[in-house]
């Protein structure tokens, strides 16, 4: 397997699994390795499981963390974050979040529902008026279960923005433009159709119901801290971009993302 293929597979894996570990490490106020809280036998079992998984799936690098009773007790990196520059994965390596954002968004939606701030069965336009009316009404409940009739990516890529999975949109409403005028693939509630764009619409519903942008809401809801005290993460398409830039959670660059940040170049724009 060539380098490009291996990096692509690493990016795929990060999107579908490892990033949950990265999320735990990022959201925790402090992460410190405490081997004494994790028995040597359990640690050895974890390391063997990781090694077996990496070998079986040709995964270049993995970040692992163990959380017990809400507290991180051990974390480590395995393999490489950048095969070209031989940068190893560490417990501070950042991975692409990808579709892990879906259960996070679903949790936030249900927390708003519990607080009486959101009606799961109301038409989405109640909270997201920017989304056009369709032949049938669509509800947040249906979107959460991938039953909203919203399409997923085009199989041939035509009509989607090539870099839409790494592009930063100025607002939630702007991100709707990719799919908002497209016809529904089925009547809402009648057919399961996995849809990333359906969850984009859920995000718009979330912002409308909370009267906050998603970053502010996630930051305060899941950390219990004011949003302004939490550094905004930079946007990278792959973990090796971060390794190449020398950025970690303790690096000063991590603490202040400039307004001129341009994801397309994967580096702060020149002032």
**Active-site residue numbers?**
99
Q: How many CB atoms lie within 10 A of CB 129?
A: 11
Q: Which residue has the tokens 């199989």?
A: 155
Q: Which of 247, 253, 244 is nearest to 81 (CA)?
A: 244
CA-wise closest residue to 140 among 90, 82, 201:
201
Residues in Cβ contact with 160 at an 8 Å cutoff, skipping those fewer than 6 apart: 153, 154, 178
Q: How far apart are CA 178 and CA 71, in angstroms?
A: 40
CA within 13 Å, CB half, 191: 9
Q: Kindly report the backbone phi and psi dihedral angles of residue 28, in degrees, each rounded to the nearest multiple of 5, phi listed first.
A: -70, 140
Q: Which pair of structure tokens corresponds to residue 25?
A: 């490490």
């Amino acid at each position: 397997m060539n380098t490009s293929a291996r990096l692509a597979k690493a990016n795929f894996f990060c999107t579908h699994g490892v990033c949950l570990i990265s999320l735990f490490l990022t959201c925790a106020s402090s992460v410190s390795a405490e081997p004494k809280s994790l028995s040597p036998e359990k640690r050895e079992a974890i390391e063997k499981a990781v090694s077996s998984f990496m070998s079986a799936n040709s995964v270049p690098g993995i970040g692992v963390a163990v959380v017990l009773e809400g507290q991180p007790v051990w974390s480590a990196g395995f393999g490489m974050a950048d095969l070209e520059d031989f940068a190893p994965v560490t417990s501070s390596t950042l991975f692409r979040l990808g579709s892990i954002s879906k259960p996070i968004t679903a949790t936030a939606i249900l927390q708003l529902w519990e607080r009486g701030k959101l009606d799961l069965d109301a038409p989405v336009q109640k909270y997201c008026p920017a989304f056009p009316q369709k032949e049938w009404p669509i509800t947040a409940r249906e979107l959460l279960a991938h039953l909203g009739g919203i399409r997923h990516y085009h199989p041939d890529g035509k009509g989607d923005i090539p870099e839409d999975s790494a592009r930063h949109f100025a607002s939630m409403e702007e991100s709707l433009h990719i799919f908002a005028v497209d016809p529904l693939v089925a009547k809402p509630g009648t057919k399961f159709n996995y849809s990333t764009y359906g969850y984009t619409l859920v995000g718009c519903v979330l912002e409308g119901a909370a009267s906050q942008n998603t970053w502010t809401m996630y930051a305060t809801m899941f950390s219990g801290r004011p949003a302004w005290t939490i550094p905004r993460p930079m946007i990278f398409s792959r973990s090796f971009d971060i390794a190449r830039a020398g950025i970690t959670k303790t690096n000063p660059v991590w603490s202040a993302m400039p307004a001129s940040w341009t994801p397309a170049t994967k580096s702060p724009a020149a002032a």
